[in-house]
Amino acid sequence: MELTATTPAEVALSEIGGTGDLPLRLRIHDSSRFEWTLSIPLPAARKVAYDLRVQLEVPTGAVGRQNPWEQLQTFSRLDGPTGVATSRDVTVDAVRRGAVTLTQMLARARDGFARHCKALFETEGGAEAEGSAAKSFEGGEKGFLLVWLEAALKAVHGAREKLVTRDAGEAPEIVRERELADEFVSVRLLEMLAESQRSLNGAARGGAPSELTEGVRARIDEALHGEFGYRERKRFLRAQRKSEADVDAYLARAARLKKHFEEVLFLDRETEQLDERVQQWMATVGALLGGIVAFVAIQVALTHRRPGPLEVGWGLSTLAMIAGLGYAARHHMREWGRGWLAGKMVRFHAQRISRCRVPSRQLSSKDVIVEAREWCHQATTSRPDPLNPEAGASLRITHVHYLHKGVVHPQRELSDAGVKSVRHIFRYDLSSLFARLDDERKLVPVVDGSGRVKVIEAMRKYRVRVDVRATCGGERHEHKAEIILDKNGLHGIVPESARP
């Protein structure tokens, strides 16, 4: 007989325990960097090829001459396993992977709760937009909001039984890792509950009925107090509202725990910057050429017949000129070599070669799991002014192009351990633009709701267009959006479909 979920919490638990993450994602990471991620399924038998293309359109007047590689950060990690480690898994890495898996489930529950809160005041029948869980539950909006909370709490309770419960005779390092996992799960649960409370407050400000939000808010408060009591019994660090030092210590502890546990999924990256290596050789050849020219000029002057005083003056001037031209040729050859390398040679090879290996603690052989070739360059072009293209006016546009082509190799041991995919994380830093943006606050006359005209101050916002495209296993994915920024940093990201 087929078993099906019969309660709302079980339905939501089955959803947050799935692997519903998008293969390609684009989002703001912090006030200066945005991020795109690509997940490639781990192949079972044959290697899988993929490619990723990214194009940025940035304000030409704010672009400096920095190497675009300097703004790009790249990380690679494993995704999975989808299940939480049991008490029979007596390795440290198994406990760490189980804790990370639970935090991913909490993140899905948080996102589901936030989406439903947003649907309460944006659309009618918001529960109908929530997928299979919403269709399976008929308890109304308030009940469905509670579903995400109960599913998250149930997932934490079940995971703690598996992660924290000790077996007799376990090694001290595993006992310690279980204690750290318990504290890490507690921190991420508090974060999930706090984010849910903020989403609920936003729904209330947006006009959601109080009878739908009050009961849910009470359940969040109850869960928060319960978790604070659990932390007190376990003697975990707690932040006091009146103590800034305690809050700082708590945040630092949470960051260390996150780095400790998520490190287990990251791959070891090796990179070779081929264009820099060739440019160094170009500079060496240029210096050698300049030295040869100067040496030849000196030899010619020394082997010439004995000159008169006037001829000596002209000879030394000519010698100095030839030596100077030879030295200057070194710089011109380097710049010429850089342009030639970026325009021609990289088309046949790559600017950078990257390899991702499985850490030795997981595989002693440190097998290469990903091999990739990468290109990144910046170019400025002109295009017709959209205000009046027929008039012949043009605009200078600067594009940053990034191309990544790679293959993922099969790895049976990782597949057997439950790893489902390899995720590349790319972060691009736009802080170099901020210093060149206009920071003057403009006076703008506006009309208020009563029809009266008022003058307000506003700072100009700039937009950076982003186009991200990926191909993997015959499937194509694409994201187009605009990043909103000003002198103070990044403010948000707007999908192309939502632009006015």
CA distance 55 to 149: 39
Helix (H/G/I), strand (E/B), else coil: 33: strand
CA distance 162 to 178: 10
Q: What's the confidence (pLDDT) of residue 133?
A: 39
Say what angle helices 172-205 and 92-122 make with each other, to 10 degrees: 10
Helix (H/G/I), strand (E/B), else coil: 490: strand
Q: What's the confidence (pLDDT) of residue 316?
A: 59
Pairing of strands 24-28, 453-459: unpaired
Per-residue buried b or exposed e for 81-107, using 16+ beta carbons within 10 Å of the residue's own CB:
beebbeeebeebbbbbbbbbbbbbbbb
Q: What's the confidence (pLDDT) of residue 386?
A: 79
Q: What's the confidence (pLDDT) of residue 158?
A: 86
In this prediction the pTM is 0.72
Report, in angstroms and rounded to the nearest whole number, the Rg of the chain calculated over CA atoms. 30
Q: Could you tell me the residue ranges of all domains in the chain?
A: 81-266, 270-353
CA distance 361 to 343: 42
Q: Which strands sit side by side in the sheet containing 33-41, from one edge to the other?
A: 24-28, 33-41, 421-429, 72-79
- pLDDT tens for the 500 residues of the chain, in order: 333 444 555 555 555 655 456 789 999 988 899 999 999 998 888 899 999 999 999 888 777 667 788 889 999 988 866 444 444 556 888 888 888 888 888 888 888 888 888 777 664 443 343 444 334 333 455 667 788 888 889 889 888 888 888 877 788 898 999 999 999 999 999 999 999 999 888 888 877 777 778 888 899 999 999 999 999 999 998 877 777 888 899 999 999 999 998 888 888 888 887 655 555 555 565 556 655 665 665 566 556 555 555 455 555 566 666 666 666 665 666 566 555 655 555 555 678 889 998 877 666 667 889 999 998 888 888 888 778 778 777 888 889 999 999 999 998 888 877 788 899 999 999 988 888 887 778 888 888 878 889 888 888 888 899 999 999 988 899 999 999 988 888 988 988 876 66
- Measured over the CA atoms of residue 436, residue 440, residue 445 and residue 447, the dihedral's sign is positive
User: Which tokens hold the place of 466?
Assistant: 């982003």
Residue carrying structure tokens 């300049």: 290
Q: What's the confidence (pLDDT) of residue 323?
A: 62
Q: What's the confidence (pLDDT) of residue 408?
A: 93
Enumerate residues 6+ apart whose C-beta is below 8 A from 237. Answer: 231, 246, 249, 250, 253
